[in-house]
Structure 1
Amino acid sequence: MAEDFDVNLDTPKYYTPSAKCTENAWAGDYSQRYQEFLADPTGFWEDIARELEWYQDWDEALEWNYPYAKWFLNGKLNVTTNCLDRHVFNQRRNKVALMWRGETDDEERIYTYKQLYHAVCRFANGLKSLGVQKGDRVCIYMPVVPEQLIAMLACARIGAVHTVVFGGFGVSALNQRIRAVGAKIVVAADVTVRRGKAIPLKTIVEDAVVNAPSVERIVVLRREETKPVELHPEMEIDFEDLMENQPRECPAEPMDAEDPLFILFTSGTTGEPKGIVHACGGYMVGTYYTTKHVFDVKDNDVYWCTADPGWITGHSYGVYGPLLTGATCLITETTPDYPDAGIWWNLIEEYGVTIFYTAPTAIRMFMRVGEEWPKKYNLSSLRVLGSVGEPLNPEAFEWFYHVIGGAKCPIADTWWQTETGMHMITTMIGEPMRPGFAGKPVPGIVADVVDSDGNSVPPGTGGLLVVKGPWPSMMRTIWENDERYRKYWETIPGCYTAADLAVKDENGYIMVIGRSDDLIVVAGHNIGTAEVESALVSHKAVAEAAVIGKPDPLKGNTIKAFVILIQGHQPTEKLRNELVYHVRMTLGPIAIPSELEFVESLPKTRSGKIMRRVLKAKEMGMDPGDISTLED
């Protein structure tokens, strides 16, 4: 059971931010703010929503028909009006909105809010010229370049629903997502650049659109200038050509608050990725509020979220949230250790980054290479640090706080999910920080740690992390699988169950322990065990497969696969390498097993379900616990 473990909470350690950090912070007094929310939950969210621009006011803030929520009923808006127009037509017109850096010093592009607005409008008009209309789905498969954000915002401008696919995914994963949403257009780049090498993307797209009959056109950003890739005019069109001669103005499509804004896929436990659907109004309000209040974004800040928009963090806190607040955003295609382990610290110094949001995996990698790298650079511009993707272990917290933040920057260790759309638990600026603990629910959220019956567990006792009641940025459904959506709310009646295990201390601080379902968090990315297993079984030599996560000091977890071969195939090192390569080509490099073991059998229940926890316990030298349902 989830609650059958305890955590030692002796000798708690807290860090209190300086008065300078909390002075004039948007978060204000946490206790007061939280009580205001509890006194009038819908009024709390309405006040935030009124800070943004609406074409038409809502009739009612919330309609809650468990487990379905509608927020800001009949309100009309367009998120890009709030990300762009609202700034362009006031004092931020010539403020820098976006700074992009490639892998070399000479690769830099800067957009003011006015310039970004015109680029988005021109691409939006280009999409309309291809027949894209409100409600059509557009798949975006690109590296972190300005055109990726421009394509996302252009879709939102005209009411098309974007689905961004991480540029590290392979043919099968991309095809699966294109077919799932019935994408009309695919926007791609010819290459992504990583560690000085151009990695082809267009060939992956060409293979992925086979057996994807919904695709009418492919828009290709050609980055290779010396030898541009050939385009097939019957299907493909150049990104720049599509924008050329398009008007610099494009009226924003009025969207109902409940109209879908985007579909973003996250790994599922059934082998099929889940298409999380987020709605225009509530998502806008939730990401605006949390970006502003959790990170305390002010007008003179330079904000850098290192996440790729192929993941929810890149959506909420790399694109929409910071642009809604009018921030100056840094985005980059650089990897954290190329050309050396000082590149990110160099960028912070060069661009004067004040708010830095990254993953524990990156922090642990920097810890491993040593303090000498950040000490080469002036990081005094930093004032707020953030962590996302997986729990920030106490050792990584201490290093981040002292070495990078100089013991002066508050750390927002944020817990949330693709499904929640926004931060749910963190330590708001001004509150004492406890290493290893994300913090408390943000004002606007009621979260708890409970047993399997929904009862709150005592401090120090592990349980299931749940959210009680609706919030604006919650997913509305899972694309074409509403039954799977309802399961989030039916595991413990009345609660959204996050499938995470957690523990709460005597002050209400919550520590997230890890997943309780069949997901493996690798370097901050959720990888479904079933997705990797399906990829392995699709190989002609494999009869059955099971995968587990193994703790790793750098990545959090690595993947180990156990494989049963079809009769007639022999386990060899060549076959092992072939299977790993097969997973790479099917799902992409993020999902490849670090270890692969050939076995004769797998532990199963009498009903035939693989007992992965038994495999994991054996691998870790632990007691597997109750195995009464084990077949053999």
Structure 2
Amino acid sequence: MYTNAIIWKPTKDHLENSNIARFMKKNGIADAKTLIQKSSADIEWFWKAALEDLGIEWFQPYTKIVEGGLPWAKWFLNGKINIVANCLDRHQKTSIKNKTAFIWEGDCGATSKITYGELHQKVAAFAAGLRSLDVKKGDCVALYMPMIPEMVVAFFAILKIGATVIPIFSGFGPEPTAIRLDDAKVKVLITADGALRRGKKVSIKEQADKALTQAPSVKHVVVAKRLFENIPWTEGRDVWFDDLLTLPPTPLPSREGAGGGGTEILDAEDRSLVIYTSGTTGKPKGTVHTHAGCLAQMVKEVAYTMDCKSEDVFFWVSDIGWMMGPWELIGATQRGATVVIFEGAPDYPQPDRLWDMVERHKVSILGISPTAIRLLKKADLENVTKHDLSSLRILGSTGEAWDPESYMWYFKNIGGKRCPIMNISGGTEIVGCHLAPLPVSPLKACTLGGPSLGMDVDVFNEEGKSVRGEVGYLVCKKPAPSMTKGFLNDPQRYLDTYFSKWPNIWNHGDWAFVDEDGFWFLRGRADDVIKVSGHRTGPAEIESALMDSPLVAECAAIGVPHAIKGESIVCFVVLKDVGQASEDIKKNLKIKVGEKLGKTLTPDEIKFVKALPKTRSAKIVRGAIKKKFLGLPLGDVSSVENLEALDAIGLVL
């Protein structure tokens, strides 16, 4: 259950030497509360001050911070910029050039490293190769790749030449891949011959070929060698990744339209990324992001919330197909940090793989989802304690609401009670955070701290009034640089999704709560809210009560129609020992929830399942669970990694 206790307080080092402490001192701001209020009240002041402090470099300075308001604000007018100029090019003039930029670890344990100087050269060479395929500014280039070093090179090369990155999960099948390729009118697809996951070979190129039968805009397919095996090949269309590295790069940033491997000079609002996010109905939504917007938001969060510095080793357990992949690549490299990426699963080949990586690579900043922690803590604690995790100084998390038991396990056993958990929440739509703590403020278990800097967020009740001490809708009242520029090819759907409830107010769809001490919490998605006999609650509250039981590994709560109460509560529970499932345990779990939350919120039914369906970013898909349980059309479930778990929901009726 949630607690009012402060579990972590900043040390003297945090208060004096963190990036945000330095920013506050520079701007004469006494405390974090004052900073948060000032940053949201005067967004023009904040973004100007932050970008200057972070050293964001412009080819041509902007003349105005922001013009207009929600939903169509324009940012950094007349400014000229490029993400790669800030993340790679700038470091070639300093000692960071010789520093390790990326550490890669494969599924089988193979490792490799690349310096900022070496990465800069490879990116320039590959950029020249892309230009040889007639890729121009504004063209869409898709990354359908596993987490391998070539992915990093391709990601920055696409941005360098002013093309648009379309990241796609390499685990997607042909149909969801084709939908994204066709919607974005992708010109070049970059993929791999295959990948390894849990020791098994995974076909990627064959899946890509099937998708391309429904994506006629794709003219070339660039293939990286991972498995070094024979694969289907289309002459004239397919080209090896390594062959594109042979053209001579242009070493210095180029003027707009120049060739070779030079860095394009782009408008601040030129497109950098289109990241697709699945909706509950209809086709996936293509969120559209800019060079300046991504830099502003991602670097601000990595620097101020995660306190990332050039001496850090930054490791966020993620995938390029999830927004945290680009967030990590852009944010951490702008800081000059070393970034760890890995192929495979965090618990293979051994359950201590992740903690072994932290020890060997001396990771100082680690980010992970609550679901991944629930998975990893199932293993014997010896898998953690046998490793030296003293290099860690900041922990991160995102993806969904925490349960207190898992949060405290992470805090105590991984962070040793000395590392703050920077629990952040936002979305693909803003490639960043609405809510984020700061390392100069105390923390309660499961809190998200408060508004992310520069974000004018609030909690509204059903009438659109600001509320505290009760759950409500998480909203944003002012624009931010990283907010999506509509949805690709569908601006009306963007307006309907975020602005239909209140005019010119971004309704994010999350269910939030601010306690009496000003700490912010999330209670799940607003469309997952359960209303029993007039009492509203989020699934997280019920799930947290269930997770208090030492028998429960994870769970999901949904509301289903009830003739008298409006809705009744049905919980799907994964036991740590599935063999223990019994009617007595169901009865006892119901009693425990009732004792903690009251009779009204006692589950009507508990269903034992072997696994919960989740997205590839480890989010439990409660909406899909509810639809499957009720026999309703599922809509788009292309982001669900384990569809067999969703199918199993229908068998527990």
CA deviation map 1:389-430 (0-9, x unaligned): 111221111111110011110110111100121122122102
Q: 470, 487, 507: which is aligned to 1:478?
A: 487
Q: 22, 27, 43: which is aligned to 2:20?
A: 27
Q: Using structure 1 for the length normalisation, give the TM-score.
A: 0.82
Partner of 2:280: 269
- 8 Å CA contact 2:3–2:444 kept in 1: the answer is no
Partner of 1:138: 141
Partner of 2:117: 114
Partner of 2:506: 496
Output aligned runs, 1:366-515, within 5 Å. 366-459=376-469, 461-487=470-496, 488-515=498-525
How many pairs are equivalent?
551
Change (3 A) 1:587 1:428: closer
CA distance, structure 2, for counterparts of residue 39 and residue 598 of structure 1: 49
- 8 Å CA contact 1:41–1:444 kept in 2: the answer is yes
- 8 Å CA contact 2:278–2:636 kept in 1: the answer is no
The answer on 1:260 being equivalent to 2:271 is yes
Output aligned runs, 1:584-599, within 5 Å. 589-596=641-648
Give 1:39 shift: 5.5
CA deviation map 1:533-571 (0-9, x unaligned): xxxxxxxxxxxxxxx995668866365425879xxxxxx
Give 1:334 shift: 3.4
Partner of 1:623: none
Give 1:283 shift: 1.6
Output aligned runs, 1:621-632, within 5 Å. none
Letter in 1 for 2:311: N
Moved more, 62-71 or 240-249: 240-249
CA distance, structure 2, for counterparts of residue 109 and residue 470 of structure 1: 41
SS, match of residue 527 in structure 2: coil
Partner of 1:235: 237
- 8 Å CA contact 2:282–2:636 kept in 1: the answer is no
Give 1:66 shift: 3.2
Give 1:331 shift: 0.7
Q: Using structure 2 for the length normalisation, give the TM-score.
A: 0.80
The answer on 1:101 being equivalent to 2:105 is yes
CA deviation map 1:85-112 (0-9, x unaligned): 111122211011111011233x211111
SS, match of residue 398 in structure 1: helix
Give 1:238 shift: 0.6
CA distance, structure 2, for counterparts of residue 500 and residue 136 of structure 1: 34
Give 1:596 shift: 4.3
Partner of 2:223: 220
CA distance, structure 2, for counterparts of residue 449 and residue 342 of structure 1: 40
Partner of 1:18: 11
Moved more, 37-46 or 107-116: 37-46
Give 1:589 shift: 3.2
CA distance, structure 1, for counterparts of residue 3 and residue 415 of structure 2: 26
Give 1:505 shift: 0.3
- 8 Å CA contact 1:304–1:353 kept in 2: the answer is yes
Partner of 1:352: 362
CA distance, structure 2, for counterparts of residue 294 and residue 472 of structure 1: 17
Q: 69, 88, 101: which is aligned to 1:84?
A: 88
- 8 Å CA contact 1:478–1:485 kept in 2: the answer is yes
CA distance, structure 1, for counterparts of residue 527 and residue 194 of structure 2: 35
Partner of 1:627: none
Partner of 2:602: none
Q: 58, 64, 70: which is aligned to 2:68?
A: 64
Change (3 A) 1:447 1:551: farther
CA deviation map 1:463-490 (0-9, x unaligned): 1111110111111110011011112123
Change (3 A) 1:286 1:552: farther
CA distance, structure 2, for counterparts of residue 340 and residue 127 of structure 1: 39
CA distance, structure 2, for counterparts of residue 191 and residue 93 of structure 1: 31
Partner of 1:364: 374
Q: Where in structure 2 are there 5+ consecutive unaligned residues?
A: 22-30, 252-260, 530-538, 541-557, 559-569, 576-610, 613-618
Partner of 2:312: 301
CA deviation map 1:199-255 (0-9, x unaligned): 000110000000211010111112223x34353222111111121244263211111
Partner of 1:43: 45
Give 1:590 shift: 4.0
- 8 Å CA contact 1:172–1:587 kept in 2: the answer is no
- 8 Å CA contact 1:391–1:438 kept in 2: the answer is no
Change (3 A) 1:209 1:138: same
SS, match of residue 23 in structure 1: helix
CA distance, structure 2, for counterparts of residue 495 and residue 307 of structure 1: 30
Q: Where in structure 1 are there 5+ consecutive unaligned residues?
A: 1-7, 522-528, 530-547, 566-578, 600-617, 620-632
The answer on 1:203 being equivalent to 2:255 is no
Letter in 2 for 1:98: F
Change (3 A) 1:366 1:16: same
Q: 318, 325, 333: which is aligned to 1:314?
A: 325
Give 1:192 shift: 1.5
CA distance, structure 2, for counterparts of residue 379 and residue 98 of structure 1: 20
Letter in 1 for 2:60: Q
Change (3 A) 1:156 1:591: farther
Partner of 1:167: 170
Change (3 A) 1:590 1:45: farther
CA distance, structure 1, for counterparts of residue 298 and residue 644 of structure 2: 32
Give 1:587 shift: 6.2
CA distance, structure 1, for counterparts of residue 80 and residue 269 of structure 2: 9
Letter in 1 for 2:17: N
CA distance, structure 2, for counterparts of residue 38 and residue 448 of structure 1: 11
- 8 Å CA contact 1:155–1:161 kept in 2: the answer is yes
CA distance, structure 2, for counterparts of residue 206 and residue 305 of structure 1: 30
- 8 Å CA contact 1:21–1:409 kept in 2: the answer is no
Partner of 2:616: none
Give 1:273 shift: 0.4
SS, match of residue 423 in structure 1: strand
- 8 Å CA contact 1:21–1:410 kept in 2: the answer is no
CA deviation map 1:109-162 (0-9, x unaligned): 111111111111111111100000001111110000111121111111011111
CA deviation map 1:6-26 (0-9, x unaligned): xx9774444223333443111
Letter in 2 for 1:498: H
CA distance, structure 2, for counterparts of residue 499 and residue 583 of structure 1: 18
- 8 Å CA contact 1:189–1:202 kept in 2: the answer is yes
Q: RMSD value over aligned CA atoms?
A: 2.7
Partner of 1:569: none
Give 1:444 shift: 1.0
Partner of 1:5: none
CA distance, structure 1, for counterparts of residue 471 and residue 463 of structure 2: 14
Letter in 2 for 1:159: G
